Amino acid sequence: MELLKEKWPGKIAEITIGATNAEGGTRASKITVGGETTLPFLFHEGDMPNMPRIAMEVLDTEPVDWPEVLKKPFGDALKDPAKWAVKCQDEFKAEIICVKLAGTHPDFGNKSAEDSAKLIKDVLQAVKVPLIILGSGDDEKDNIVLSKVSQAAKGERCLLGDATEKNYKTLTASCLADGHNIIAESPIDINIAKQANILISEMGFPLDKIVINPTIGALGYGMEYAYSIMERARYAALIDDKMLSMPFIAFIGQEAWRAKEAKTLFSQAPEWGEEESRGILWEASTAACMLQAGADILVMRHPKAVDVTRGYIGKLMGNK
């Protein structure tokens, strides 16, 4: 029997993160994601020229709400973002480092833009892989911090975020001026995702430098809702809606480790089983689902969850 195959006219944009010496940056490697002409891993209908990639998360301040299980693999490195990044790169083979400037938030440390710019320079010096750089989520402060940080990383072709429908102009202008890619965030809402992309592109920002952060939920916390939004956006992209034809970034670690199932201690809930594998599985399961939804960049935390997910990507890409 012959398989009924879908022919998709559209294609997801290909975006490259990181610039090598020859390109005006200092990265040893660069990463390209996107370019799909099919739904995830349906290789008989189209191609996925670039495999999904995993970025490991590094915070600018020692995390306070991470469970022991999650802190353990990093040890003292959690106190020093540059060391933490090196550990992720060298020991855990991270291909991208995602630095979240959580400590710049006015309510959680209020670090200055200058300190953040210096920190980014230190991390760029310490590691050779491409960087994703995130603000704290406070619009006003992000506009100050990310402008400085963007300048500090000029020419490195980082991925900066997040721009939102209500706060995109400053970050878009910075990324445009300093040669970075941008993350456009929307609250699990396809209409706002499309609107954010068009607003950013109307400032003259190229469509092949935008990554969609659709916002996701972890396993048990709206994961299937996020899946359905991503699936719908991908369908639209594949029938050639240019305003949705961007790669996705999914913040797996942040969502998975927020779940009580991931962080509750064994002593508090023995019936849930041993806590170490529980959190890792929660993160890896969420990652597996998001890969099937079309995620191109997964931002993750636990090295073992990263490992499992990397293996899973390898297997899925092996069917190509």
Partner 1 sequence: MLVVGELINGMYKAVGKAIEEKDKGVIQKLAKDQRAAGASMLDVNTGPYTKNPKDAMKWLVETIQESCDAPLCLDSTKADVIEEGLKLAKNKAMINSTSSDDEKLEVLVPLALKYNASLIGLAMGKSGIPRDKNERMEHAVKIVTKCQEAGVPMSDLYLDPIVMPVNVAQAQGPEIMESIKEFALLCDPAPKTIVGLSNASQSTKERPLINRIYLVMAIANGLTAAICDPLDKLLMDAAITAELILNKNIYCDSFLEAYRTK
- Least Å distance, CB 243 to partner 1, is 5
How would DSSP label each residue in 36-88?
A: -SSSTT-TTTS---S--EEEEEEESS--SS--HHHHGGGGGGGG-HHHHHHHH
- Which residues, numbered 116-135, are part of the site for partner 1 (CB under 8 A)? none
Q: Which is nearer to partner 1, 191 or 268 (CB)?
A: 191
- Least Å distance, CB 234 to partner 1, is 11
Residues 35 and 65: beta-carbon distance below 8 Å: no
- Least Å distance, CB 36 to partner 1, is 18
d(CA 170, CA 153): 16
Q: Which is nearer to partner 1, 186 or 286 (CB)?
A: 186
Closest listed residue to residue 32, CA positions, set 46, 13, 45, 47: 13
* Residue 80 neighbours by CB distance under 10 Å: 15
- Which residues, numbered 12-71, are part of the site for partner 1 (CB under 8 A)? none
Judged by CB under 8 A, the stretch of 27-35, 216-224, 231-239, 295-303 that binds partner 1 is 231-239
Residues 308 and 284: beta-carbon distance below 8 Å: yes
Q: Which is nearer to partner 1, 91 or 202 (CB)?
A: 202
What would the x/- binding string for partner 1 be over residues 175 to 214, using CB under 8 A?
A: ---------------xxxxxx--xx-xx------------
- Which residues, numbered 234-263, are part of the site for partner 1 (CB under 8 A)? 236, 240-244
Q: Which is nearer to partner 1, 242 or 304 (CB)?
A: 242
DSSP strand pairing (31-34 vs 14-17): antiparallel
DSSP state of 132: E
* Interface residue list for partner 1 (CB under 8 A): 190-195, 198-199, 201-202, 232-233, 236, 240-244
